[in-house]
Amino acid sequence: MSGSIEYTSFKMSLILRSLAFFSFNCLVMAAPFSKRAISSGPTMSANFPDPTFIEVDATYYAFATNNGEQNIPVAVSSDFNTWDLQDGYDALPDPGSWASGDVWAPDVVQVDDGSFVLYYAAELADHSTHCVGAATASSPRGPYTPQSSPLICPSASVGGAIDPSGFLDTDGTRYILYKIDGNSVPGGPNCGNTATNSYSTPILIQKVGSDGLTLEGTAQQIMTQDPSTEPLVEAPSLAIVDGVYFLFFSSGCYTDSDYDVKYATSQNGVLNGGNDYTRASAALLQTGYGIGLVAPGGLTIGSQGQKVVFMAYQSGSDTVRQMYTGTVTLDASSKTVSI
């Protein structure tokens, strides 16, 4: 999903859902709250879109899409509730000579040797498309040093690649998920990617080596949009519980109140599932949920399969996307998620 936004008038249809097993917390200078303590939705001062996080030594590090000043803003927490925005700090001060900037949707993993790899999407130096890059650091906060070339870079004719997300399987094998950004094909429809004017936006998974950087084999598609009901799918995040893979993703246009978080499940193996991921019957998060969220999306689930972060628009704003935290319950027997 993109890191900047133009003015949009939101369609505020409220869809009320229960808040079982979930507690919301707002990023930066805001007191923690729950469904009993808040009625009109959160407020906050920080724009922190496309959030992700990693837990290291009982400290949580959150990272976000560029905010116009830093390529990768960072926030830190000791309890996953109260966050300290590292004002002015950039985890990726240099996105690489191959990139012109416009850094989106990071993800951070710790690899086998104890070091850290930051995945991110950035626009190519020729401004033709976005590709997935990788950078390394000895500590989770960074700063990260970029690789000399993109890690994954499909052609501009298909839309390039965005929304990278690392995944460690139970057998120790590492993968990267990402989106082919078909709706951003030059001259294409962007979020007006309708059934009559549709570019494919598949989610692919790529095996990588223990260093998180070496591509192994070829990427496989595991999900794509239903053009009759949604313009795109994006922002993948994968977890596994008792042999069942839970794939979280967003659908709809991030500038519209129809943007949401959905999930699908598979038991056929992370690379053997093909397109057989079965979608849940209803969205997990959508506009109006519980405390009146607006266009929630970009959910990232932690490596332990319980904690999550996601974004939603600040009430009354069409430019500020706030980070929320919560917990989920993944039920392998019923293949359902409670949030």
Beta carbons of 143 and 106 less than 8 angstroms apart: no
Angstrom CA distances, 302 to 35, 108, 150, 275, stand at 23, 11, 25, 24
- Give the span between the Cα atoms of 221 and 217, in whole angstroms: 13
Residues 6+ apart with CB under 8 A from 198: 189, 225, 227, 231
Identified catalytic residue from 50, 90, 181, 260:
50
Instruction: Give the burial class of 285: count Cβ atoms within 10 A of its Cβ; 0-12 exposed, 13-18 middle, 19 or more buried.
Output: buried
| Contact present, 197 and 191 (Cβ < 8 Å) | no
Amino acid sitting at position 322? Q
Q: Clarify whether 234 is annotated catalytic.
A: yes
Query: In a 3-state reduction of DSSP, which class is residue 290?
Result: helix
CA-based diameter of the chain, in Å? 51
Catalytic residue among 102, 123, 163, 234: 234
152 neighbors 178 (Cβ within 8 angstroms): yes
CA triple 268-272-240, angle to 5 deg: 50
Residues catalogued as catalytic = 50, 234
